[in-house]
Each structure stands twice: as structure tokens, then as C-alpha cells.
Amino acid sequence: MPKITYYVAASLDGYIADVSGGVDWLPQDESNDYGYADFYSTVDALAMGRRTYDQVLGFGEWPYAGKRVYVFTSNPPDDDPYRVEFVRADPTEFVQTLAARHSGTVWLVGGGNLADQFRRAGLIDDYLVFVIPVILGRGIPLFDGDAPLTALESVTTQTYDDGVVMLHYRPVAG
């Protein structure tokens, strides 16, 4: 089975984007990638929601060249310039299908609604949350919904000089 990792940045008050989906509040220091290159080298495939996909398209150059990308949507676009696979299955069906294709890490890019669907189904193996020292006040939440409690255990934490804190959690077995 592939390992599903929710790797995401969030504001101190728990938002992954501002109200318009913007992420310009994220650190722009290119001298520190917060371990992104090491993490990305372990990624076999990416899974994201349609709004995240549309937002990434707006960044210009496609950042996921050479990786298989799955986009969850009930309304796939007419054109597909980056040869992603549009998925209509629920997360559990999707992960079962992935088992035949991938054995490494699948990066759950987001957003909050998709992450919550994976969390509800107990499909997230690792949570890597980078807490950015900013308070947005409102926006797109880290998780969307009121799913039942998910108990987590701490794997590691790392603090960066600019105040960013990486929290690595796994679901408690049992």
C-alpha cells in the first residue's frame, strides 16, 4: 500500500489559504526549503482537489513534472495540459486502486475538504504540518468539517530560525 502523507503549511490559526485561496502569506525565503526537496524526492504521486489544481495552474510553470498527479473532481476540465488523472472515486476506492500503481509516498496536497475526506476514512498515514507564524483570521481551514476525533502521536518537531515549526504526526494505532 502507498503511504498517504498530508504535507501542508498552515497559519497559526489553522488556515491553509486566505479567503480567496491565496498563499502569498507563505515564507518566500528561497534559501530555506524547510525540507521540501528531501520530502519531494520520496513522492511517487500527488493527490489534490480541483480547486488546488486550478490554483496550481495559475502559478505558471507546472511544479510537478515527472510525477503522477491525481485530481479529485466531479467536473474535470475539457483540456488537460499536464496529463493528470481526474478522479471521481471516493478516497477509499482511490487508495485501493493506487496500491496496484504505487508503493511509495502519495502526497495529499489538499485542500481542507479533500484532506478531511481522507482523514474520515482513516487513510492518512503521516501529517506533516508546517505552522507559519502568521494569523490570517479567516480562510480555508486545515480540515473542513466536523469529523470525529482523530488521535495522533508526535513523531518529531522541528523549529526553523524564521519561526516556522514543522509538526510530524501519525494516527495512534488501535
Q: Return all residues near 79 (Cβ < 8 A) that are at least 6 apart.
A: none
Kindly list the domain boundaries of the chain, sorted by start residue.
3-171
**CATH 3.30.450.20 for the 3-171 domain, yes or no:** no
Whether 6 shows a pLDDT value over 70: the answer reads: yes
pLDDT of the residue at 174: 67
pLDDT tens-digit series, residues 23-51: 999 998 888 999 999 999 999 999 999 98
CA distance 36 to 29: 13
State the cell numbers at 79.
Answer: 483540456
pLDDT of the residue at 99: 86
Task: Classify the phi-psi angles of 106: left when phi > 0, otherwise alpha if psi is within -120 to 50, otherwise beta.
Answer: beta
CA distance 124 to 138: 25
Q: Which amino acid is present at 163?
A: G
pLDDT tens-digit series, residues 55-71: 898 888 899 999 999 99
CA distance 16 to 55: 13
pLDDT tens-digit series, residues 113-149: 899 999 999 999 999 999 999 999 999 999 887 777 8
